């Protein structure tokens, strides 16, 4: 079971943190595009706190935004 909370919403992207049950007590992030429902980016890493997952997700989101502007 995944329980997601939205951390960041911009006009183009949405960052959500998901609590995982396997492995228990871990978190991951998912970034989706608002204009393309079939596009998403997630991490294969698991984080032991919601804050760690959020920081990693925000860093990934920043990389995506910079890639779009260069």
Distance CA 61, CA 40 (A): 11
**Residue 10 or 28, more confident:** 28
**pLDDT at position 1 over 90:** no
Identity of the highest mean pLDDT range in 2-11, 16-25, 53-62: 53-62
Taking a C-beta distance cutoff of 8 angstroms, is the pair 18, 28 a contact? yes
Distance CA 12, CA 15 (A): 10
Read off the pLDDT of residues 38-50 as tens digits, 9 standing for 90 and up.
Answer: 999 999 899 999 9
């Amino acid at each position: 079971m995944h329980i997601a909370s939205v951390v960041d919403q911009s006009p183009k992207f949405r960052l959500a943190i998901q609590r995982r049950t396997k492995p228990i007590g871990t978190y991951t992030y998912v970034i989706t595009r608002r204009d393309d429902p079939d596009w998403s980016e997630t991490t294969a890493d698991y984080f032991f706190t919601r804050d760690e997952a959020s920081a990693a997700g925000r860093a990934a989101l920043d990389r995506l935004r910079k890639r779009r502007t260069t």
